[in-house]
Amino acid sequence: MSFRIRSVLVLAVGIALGLMLSVGTAVRADREAAAEKTQSLPTEDVRMLVEVLELVRADYVDDVDEHRLIEDAIRGMVSSLDPHSAFLDPDEYREVRISTAGAYSGVGIEVVLEDKQVVIVSPIEDSPAFRAGIVSGDVILSVDGAPIDPDSLEDTISRMRGKDGTSVVLGVHRPGDGTTFSLTLTRELIQVASVKARTLEPGMGYIRVTHFSETTGRDLERAVLRLKKENSGALQGLILDLRNNPGGLLDAAVEVSDIFLETGLIVSADGRVNDARFSMNAQPGDALDGSPMVVLVNSGSASASEIVAGALQDHGRALLVGSHTFGKGSVQTVMPLSNGRAIKLTTSRYFTPSGRSIHEVGIDPDVEVLREVGDSTVITPSGIPIAEDDPALAVALKTIKEQKTILQSKAP
C-alpha cells in the first residue's frame, strides 16, 4: 500500500472525539473519475445560492465580506454532512499537520483554558519553558505584550509558536506566591512525547500512550526494550494504557498493534472510492514473546485507540479493562483547497479484524471497571498514574497476574 493511501490520522476534538483523516491527493484521481459519472448541480439551486449571497451582501444591516460569506457557506455545507466533516481555514489546516507530526516550534508548554484563564498544565521536559522555571498552575497573561484572548485558547497557542530561534515574551502570573513576571523565551523544535513508561513492580511493565503521532510506534518499541532491560531482559506482563487517548495517525495505530501481534488483519476500511477501501496486516514478531497483556480503555478512548484495542481483543492477544470506548469508526480525508485551506470529508468506515464496525457503538471491555462519582486518577509529574489511587489500573494489574498464572499452569 502506498504512503499516500496509508497516511490516515485521528485527531482530538474536545476531550474524547477522534477524527480519522487521510491526505486528499491519494483519492483525487479516483474522485475525479467518479465525478465524470456525476450529474451537474441543478441550475436552480446554484441560482438560489447566488441570489442569497447577493441579497445578504446588498441588504444586510452591516457591511459583510463576501469572501467570508462564501467561506461560511462552505463551512456550513460540509459540517451539515456529519459531525466529523469540516472546512479548515489556514490556521486549522496548519494545526492538523502540526498535531500529527509529533513536533512543533515553540516554547514547550501544555495549556488549558480554565475560567477564562490560560493555565499551564505542565512544561515539556528540557524545553525553553522548563529551563526558564515555568511550573504547573502558572497562568499566562500576555504574549509579546498583548493580553491573551480569554475566549480563544488557539489564538494564545498560535502566538506562542513561531520560527525556531525567534523570541517570545510571556507575561506570567504564579497563583502559588501571587507574583507576576515576564519571561523572554527562545523558540525551538519541541518533540511531543506520546509514550510514557515505567515498571509497576518486578516483571510488570506499564506504557501509557496519550496520542498517536509519527513517532509513537518507534517510541513504544524503545519503551518496551527499556522495560525489558530493567527487568532482566524479559517482561512477565504489560499494561497498555489508552484511556483518554482521542486518536492520531492510523499508521501509528497499526504499528503499535503490530508490535504485539504475530500475524493477521489489524484493520480494514470500506468506502465508495477504491483508495478508501484498504486493509492492513501484522508482520511476524511479538515484542513480548506472548507474555500477557491488558489494555486500559474508557469513554475517552477513540478512533486510533479503538483500532489498537479492537485488534488486540479480536486476536485474543490482550484483555480490555475499563469502560466502554467512544465509538468513532469513520475515516475523513483531508482535501487541500486553494490559499492554504482544506476540507476534511468522511470517505469510509473502518472495521476490526473480526469485521466489527465500532462506529457509534464502541468496544466493550472484557473486564468492566466503572468509576464511582468523585473518583479521580492521580497522575504523577512523569504522567504515570498511581495504582493505589486508580481502580482500573489496580484491576488491570490483578488481571494480568491471573493471566500469567493461567499461562504458567499450561506450560509443559
Query: Residues with catalytic annotation?
Result: 303, 314, 328
Helix-helix angle 216-230:250-260, to 10 degrees: 30
Q: What are phi and psi of 309, to 5 degrees?
A: -60, -45
At residue 247's C-alpha, the angle toward residues 197 and 130, to 5°, is 50
Q: How far is Cα 15 from Cα 243, in angstroms, rounded to an integer?
A: 11
Q: How far is Cα 78 from Cα 341, in angstroms, rounded to an integer?
A: 13
The answer to whether the beta carbons of residues 346 and 332 sit under 8 Å apart is yes
Q: How far is Cα 294 from Cα 312, in angstroms, rounded to an integer?
A: 9
Q: What are phi and psi of 124, to 5 degrees?
A: -75, 135
Q: What are phi and psi of 188, to 5 degrees?
A: -150, 170
Paired with 185 in beta bridges are 168
Q: What are phi and psi of 217, to 5 degrees?
A: -60, -45
> Please, what's the b/e burial string for 123-134 (b: 16 or more CB within 10 A of its CB; e: otherwise)?
bbeebbbbebeb
